[in-house]
């Protein structure tokens, strides 16, 4: 038995293994990525330059003017991060009200922002139709990583994962996904400042551009705190493929958010039919939630294994476009006491990765507890022994340091406060999902 969910905001359904809760159909009025608002205006966040030009032309501009304005607006949206048309200083003052009457620059609503004692930050966000989801920023000495969500809830039911206890509500839209990156840049103050001298090259509205920007200094993007993105938040990214792909294209666009694809990692639990597409159409780094090396254990803790088995998954990893020793595939492995952490498990992990000749790195993740969880974290000694065996097998196996545990921002802990459940409720939901998975 399977449920279905739209692979993007406006596309047809695709089969997925998952729970028996009804999944809403795409919302009425979503056409080519544009979600109408109650006030009749169109949110431009999440739209590529070409689509913005089409909307401007449809609103009354001639084709040449629409193309020019789209280029200017696109730059202000994705490279400068402005949230009001009035701030677009290379656009005529008389033109800005015209834009504001018809269009809007959106962001997900911030319901709550939390700071961990270790510097990790978590945001509870809300969509325009009142659904909550979360994102996390993890600062390190040499990088800053934003963990981005792709769905409201999750359908996969991984037994060790708090997010997996949630019902899947819906996919996030392109704008809601890229909006997380933009919100993080807002919070970190990382949008470029200074005059836009390039505006003079167009010969259009140059005088107004010169008069208006009060930031001073040269136009530049200094060293950023946000350097990396991982699609490891709420949801399975490959079950929302089209929206994730289109959002990441905006993130990677040199004229947009301009983050290199080598600094973006997409994590999947093993949606094999979409993995090759991910490599071909997105081209980012791949992480795979493996977590076990035997069928019985992975069937239990990562139930999608009942649909796509370990060897089939590893073959898909071996076939992943762009994988090489320079761009290794990361295998995520949560350490669960007396479940998947034995020396034999470590040796089997090495054997499997070598059997498929995979350019691999293994991230060992100490289990992050949450209320109602039925597992315990492996002991530090057991984790160290497991890591040593994998390292001796010629495969890097660092132990990830848990971050943000005090604000439930660590791996597997993302879950909105509105979704707290008792142990009995969790067991009932797990049982329902298990029936659905067959």
Helices (H), 235-332: 241-252, 272-277, 295-301, 310-318
Rounded to whole angstroms, how far apart are CA atoms 60 and 54?
10
Report the alpha-carbon distance of residue 432 to residue 23 in Å, rounded. Answer: 15
Residue of 134, 176, 208, 300 marked active site: 134
The beta-carbon contacts of 22-31 under 8 Å, at least 24 apart in sequence, are 23/155, 23/168, 23/170, 24/169, 24/170, 27/129, 27/170, 30/173
**H/E segment holding residue 179:** helix 174-188
Strands 121-126 and 132-139: antiparallel
φ/ψ of 133, rounded to 5, equals -150, 175
Say if residues 279 and 246 touch (Cβ distance below 8 Å): no
User: Is 411 designated active site?
Assistant: yes
In the set 147, 158, 278, 411, the catalytic residue is 411
Q: Are 107 and 186 in contact (CB under 8 A)?
A: yes
Residue of 223, 285, 220, 276 whose CA lies nearest to 252 = 285
Judge whether 368 and 413 are in contact, CB under 8 Å. Answer: yes
Which residues form the catalytic set?
134, 411
């Amino acid at each position: 038995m399977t449920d279905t969910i739209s692979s993007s905001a406006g596309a047809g359904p695709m089969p997925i293994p998952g729970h028996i809760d009804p999944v809403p159909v795409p919302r009425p009025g979503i056409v080519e990525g544009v979600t109408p608002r109650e006030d009749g205006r169109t949110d431009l966040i999440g739209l590529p330059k070409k689509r913005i030009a089409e909307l401007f032309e449809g609103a009354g501009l001639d084709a040449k003017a629409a193309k020019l304005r789209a280029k200017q607006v696109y730059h202000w949206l994705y490279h400068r991060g402005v949230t009001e048309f009035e701030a677009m200083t290379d656009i005529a003052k008389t033109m800005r009200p015209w834009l504001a009457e018809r269009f809007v620059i959106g962001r997900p609503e911030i319901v709550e922002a939390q700071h961990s004692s270790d510097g990790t930050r978590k945001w509870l966000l809300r969509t325009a139709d009142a659904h909550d989801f979360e994102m996390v920023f993890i600062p390190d000495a040499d990088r800053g990583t934003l963990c981005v969500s792709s769905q409201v809830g999750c359908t996969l039911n991984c037994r060790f994962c708090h997010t997996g206890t949630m019902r899947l509500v819906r996919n996030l839209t392109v704008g809601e996904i890229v909006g997380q990156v933009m919100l993080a840049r807002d919070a970190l103050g990382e949008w470029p400042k200074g005059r836009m001298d390039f505006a003079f090259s167009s010969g259009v509205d140059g005088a107004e551009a010169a008069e208006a920007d009060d930031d001073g200094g040269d136009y530049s993007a200094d060293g950023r705190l946000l350097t990396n993105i991982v699609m490891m938040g709420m949801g399975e990214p490959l079950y929302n493929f089209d929206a994730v792909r289109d959002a990441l294209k905006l993130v990677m666009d040199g004229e947009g958010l301009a983050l290199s694809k080598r600094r973006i990692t997409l994590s999947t639990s093993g949606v094999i039919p979409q993995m090759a597409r991910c490599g071909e159409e997105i081209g980012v780094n791949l992480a795979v939630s493996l977590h076990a090396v035997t069928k019985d254990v992975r069937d239990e803790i990562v139930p999608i294994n009942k649909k796509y088995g370990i060897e089939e998954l590893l073959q898909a990893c071996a076939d992943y476009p762009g994988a090489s020793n320079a761009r290794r595939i990361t295998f995520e492995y949560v350490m669960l006491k007396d479940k998947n952490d034995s020396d034999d498990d470590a040796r089997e992990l090495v054997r499997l990765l070598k059997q498929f000749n995979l350019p691999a790195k293994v991230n060992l993740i100490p289990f992050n507890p949450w209320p109602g969880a039925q597992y315990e974290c492996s002991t530090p000694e057991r984790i160290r022994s497991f890591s040593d065996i994998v390292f001796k097998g010629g495969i890097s196996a660092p132990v990830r340091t848990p971050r943000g545990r005090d604000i439930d921002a660590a791996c597997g802990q993302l879950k909105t406060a509105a979704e707290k459940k008792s142990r009995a409720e969790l067991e009932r939901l797990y049982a329902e999902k298990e029936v659905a998975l067959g």
